[in-house]
Amino acid sequence: MQKLTLKGFKENYYYKTDLEKLCKQYKLPSYGTKAELNHYLQLYLSGKPPQEIKAVRSSHHNNSGVKQINLNTKIVGSRFSFNNEARKFFANYFGVKNFHFKKGMAIIKRKAEAENDTNMTVADLINEYTKLKKTPNRSKILKRTSEENTYQWNNFVKNFCQSPESKKFNNKLKVAAILWQHVRNSSKPKKYRPELINIYQSEIKQYKK
């Protein structure tokens, strides 16, 4: 088996099940979000001993969550989660009747968990999200986070289905899946590019209208 390197790891796309197997193989924590598993493997491949790589969350989840939430509540290590208690707290803080958790808030929280940022508080979460909302290029900032990187396949399908090229095909998802297999196993960016249609024309021509 070819030895896995940090460079090779970053150049390839892995499904969560693949990451879990790799973590078990290298005796690393093998539960958590995909971003967390990626984080463990990158630490290991960067030279950190496996015994020093600790899980950012317990494998046994306590569904009760933190009992009382305030601005000083820690995001990591306090059992804080986006549950009904958190919804009530944010509704009261922002002065709204019905509060809906935002994608940006979830990504900031996941990033803190993946990086084991035990200093981040609810106040920090609110401040970071507020700044993010005011940032003109906030979509680019979101894409740079570890959690957003786990959406590569979904983004690939979305971009393909919105492209002019996709209108030529009946089964768009099937075509996207074929193209994705090649992109996933290449060293190029895991993004849809129009030239892929010509490169793999022989494999997808049967799905043309």
Counted domains in the chain: 3
Counted residue by residue, the chain has a size of 209
Res 91: pLDDT: 95
Clarify whether residues 32 and 11 are in a common domain.
Answer: yes
Q: Is residue 74 part of a domain?
A: no
Res 121: pLDDT: 95
Res 143: pLDDT: 58
Non-local (6+) Cβ contacts of 209 within 8 A are 168, 169, 170
**Tell me: the pLDDT tens digits for 29-74?**
998 877 788 889 999 999 999 999 988 765 544 445 567 899 999 9
End-of-domain residue from the set 143, 165, 187: 143
DSSP one-letter string for 1-41: -PPP-HHHHHHS---HHHHHHHHHHTT----S-HHHHHHHH
Q: Is residue 57 part of a domain?
A: no
- The residues of the chain scoring below 50 in pLDDT are 60-63
Res 16: pLDDT: 80
Res 10: pLDDT: 77
DSSP one-letter string for 96-148: -SS----HHHHHHHHHHHHTT-TT-BHHHHHHHHHHHHH-TTHHHHHHTSTTG
Clarify whether residues 157 and 134 are in a common domain.
Answer: no
Percent composition of the chain: helix, strand, coil (DSSP 3-state, to 5):
55, 0, 40
Res 195: pLDDT: 96
Clarify whether residues 11 and 40 are in a common domain.
Answer: yes
Res 50: pLDDT: 93
Domain that holds residue 95: 84-143
Res 66: pLDDT: 65
Res 136: pLDDT: 72
Clarify whether residues 168 and 139 are in a common domain.
Answer: no
Clarify whether residues 123 and 92 are in a common domain.
Answer: yes
Q: Is residue 78 part of a domain?
A: no
Res 208: pLDDT: 92
End-of-domain residue from the set 143, 165, 184: 143
Q: Is residue 16 part of a domain?
A: yes
Q: Is residue 76 part of a domain?
A: no
Clarify whether residues 161 and 130 are in a common domain.
Answer: no
Nearest to 72 by CA among 126, 114, 108, 110: 126
Clarify whether residues 94 and 136 are in a common domain.
Answer: yes
Clarify whether residues 124 and 89 are in a common domain.
Answer: yes
Burial class from Cβ neighbours inside 10 Å (0-12, 13-18, 19+) for residue 209 reads: exposed
Q: Is 74 helix (H, G, I), strand (E, B) or coil?
A: strand
Residue at 41: amino acid letter: L
